[in-house]
Structure 1
Amino acid sequence: MSHPQPVARRMFDLVEPIGMVPFIANESDQALMALGLRNAWDAYFAGRAAPFGPTVPAEVVHAVFYNFAPGEVARHLPRIWDLTTPEAALEARERGCVAGMRRILGALADDPAVARAGELLLRAATSAPVEGRALFAALRAVPVPQEPVARLWHAATLLREHRGDGHTVALMAEGIGGTEAHVLHALSVGMPAHEFGRVHHLPAAQLNAVVDGMRARGLIGADGWLTADGRAAKERVEELTDRLAEAPYRALSPAELDLLATDLAPISAALKAAFPW
Structure 2
Amino acid sequence: MATLDGKTALVTGGGRGIGRAIALRLATDGARVAVHYGASADAATEVVELIRARGGDAFALQAQLGVPGDAAALWSAFERHADGVDIIVNNAGALGAREPFEDVTEAGFDDVFAINTKAPFFIVQQGLTRLRDAGRIVNVSTSFTHGSRNPDLLAYSMSKAAIDAFTGALAKHLGPRGITVNAVGPGATATDMNAARLATPEGRDAIASRSPLNRVAEPQDIADIVAFLASPDARWVTGQWIDATGGALL
Fold match (TM-score > 0.5): no
Higher percent of residues as helix: 1
Higher Rg of the two aligned structures: 1
Higher percent of residues as strand: 2
Compare relative contact order (CA 8 Å, sep 6+) and give the higher one, 1 or 2: 1
What is the TM-score with the length of structure 2 in the denominator? 0.30
